[in-house]
Amino acid sequence: MGGATSDSGALAGWGPGPVSEAEAMGMALELARRGVRGANPLVGAVILDPAGQVLAHGYHRGAGTPHAEADALAAAAAAGTDVSGATMVVTLEPCNHTGRTGPCSQAILAAGISRVVYAAADSNAEAAGGAAALAAAGVDAEGGLLAAESAELNHRWALAMAGRRPFVTVKTAQTLDGRTAAEDGTSQWITGSAARTDGHGIRSRADAVVVGTGTVLADDPQLTARDELGGAARRQPLRVVVGHRPVPDNAAIRGTDGRFLQLDSHDPEVICRDLYGRGVRHLMVEGGAQVASAFLRAGLADELVAYVAPVLLGAGTSAVGDLGVQTLADASRWRWDVTDGGPARLVGQDLRLRLEPVPETGATPAEHHLGSGPPRMNTDELNPPRTEH
């Protein structure tokens, strides 16, 4: 029986023969890395027949889209592949709750999967319990295979979950010399329309977008998510202003849809706690420099997305302000994020860079990325360039 895949590309780098569960987990981790960061963890799944042949695979494409297990099951169903009696190898414990999608534990049971091998347990209390539910229904559920690799992939997401705060993406649009505005405060536009549309893609995935009063008074931003033609995206974030000064009654950010909020605080922890209480699980910080720096100083930046324009200003506002770093040894160090098509991509005329904080384990970025798991797939083939989000 032929294997089904959720992508047009096959699992490049892996031969057609049977694989072990550990090798399948390696595949699932590579699939997970295709996903996009945000409110949900990156997850990949591979379905094996009893002989170890790959029947189907899938991954999670971000909040609101099918989970990896559902994606793999859908791929199998679309190909007419019977997965009853098969093994689901997945990088995260299957969820047991109805969020924006249904519980994976139920989908797995309905498909007749008889064994589930997962890597890391789900640290999201709202979704956990899938393994126990599966075991109670007679499925052979086993956790822990390559758990460290899976946990490492989602280390910042897990930190956010444990802290009961949103996953935070800090986005900047900057010049080659790291400026986000000219000396007179003008900043529209540093990056081109393609990069701005890409940034709107993050807005539409995020639950809330935050700027400081300085940005509101300087730019009068709309802060809505819009497509390349300026049309409203289907999903709109809550528009949040932080700071003491009042937001003018006629400010564009107020809009007319009621999705506007001002928080009279300078403290990122307070802001995160408040927004989490309002259901915000992915927060995008759009600046300006003072607010972005405050999140960085507080260790509350889980992802950095920098759009770098081929422009020099020589003076003006720096993308980030004082981080309390006096000497190089104290520098805030980041690593390139290899997920979601890779850390660097040309978007129109601008370069989009994506980074994540180095986990505090002492391992080097290379050690983190390469891990010590089973043989790896060809990442180039797994990460085809994507043109939009």
Ligand X SMILES: NC(=O)C1=CN([C@@H]2O[C@H](COP(=O)(O)OP(=O)(O)OC[C@H]3O[C@@H](n4cnc5c(N)ncnc54)[C@H](OP(=O)(O)O)[C@@H]3O)[C@@H](O)[C@H]2O)C=CC1
Ligand Y SMILES: Nc1c(N[C@@H]2O[C@H](COP(=O)(O)O)[C@@H](O)[C@H]2O)[nH]c(=O)[nH]c1=O
Nearer to ligand X, 52 or 178 (CB): 178
219 binds ligand X per the rule CB under 6 A: yes
Q: How far apart are CA 93 and CA 103, in angstroms?
A: 11
In the complex, least distance from residue 136 CB atom to ligand X, rounded to whole angstroms: 47
Nearer to ligand Y, 98 or 188 (CB): 188
Q: Is the peptide bond before 14 cis (omega within 30 degrees of 0)?
A: no
Q: Is the peptide bond before 288 cis (omega within 30 degrees of 0)?
A: yes
Question: Annotated catalytic residue: which of 23, 69, 149, 303?
Answer: 69
* Tokens of residue 271, six digits: 């802001």
Residue 153: count of CB within 10 angstroms of its CB: 27
262 binds ligand X per the rule CB under 6 A: no
In the complex, least distance from residue 265 CB atom to ligand X, rounded to whole angstroms: 7
- Residues numbered 233-252 forming contacts with ligand X, rule: CB under 6 A: 242-245
Residue 32 interacting partner from ligand X, ligand Y, none (CB closer than 5 to 8 Å by kind): none
In the complex, least distance from residue 315 CB atom to ligand X, rounded to whole angstroms: 13
- Residues numbered 199-218 forming contacts with ligand X, rule: CB under 6 A: 211-215, 218
Interface ranges with ligand Y (CB under 6 A): 173, 187-191, 195-196, 199, 211, 215, 219, 221-224, 286-287, 307
Residue 272 interacting partner from ligand Y, ligand X, none (CB closer than 5 to 8 Å by kind): none
* Tokens of residue 254, six digits: 């107020």
**Residue 69 designated active-site:** yes
Residues lying near ligand X in the complex (CB under 6 A): 172-173, 180-181, 185, 187, 190, 211-215, 218-219, 242-245, 266, 286-291, 294, 317
Catalytic residues, by residue number, are 69
